[in-house]
Amino acid sequence: MFVVVAYDVNTETPEGRRRLRNVAKTCMRFGQRVQNSVFECSITPSDYLMLISNLLKIMDEEKDNLRIYKLGKNYSGKIESYGHDRHIPFDDVMMV
Domain ranges of the chain: 2-72
**3-state SS, residue 19:** helix
pLDDT per residue over 32-89, tens digit each?
A: 999 999 999 999 999 999 999 999 999 999 999 999 999 877 766 666 667 766 665 5
To 5 degrees, how large is the angle CA 21–CA 33–CA 66? 60
Q: Domain 2-72, what fold?
A: Alpha-Beta Plaits (3.30.70)
Residues 7, 48 contacting (CB under 8 angstroms): no
pLDDT the model gives residue 95: 52
φ/ψ of residue 24, rounded to 5: -60, -45
To 5 degrees, how large is the angle CA 68–CA 50–CA 40? 40
Note the pTM of the prediction, 2 decimals. 0.79
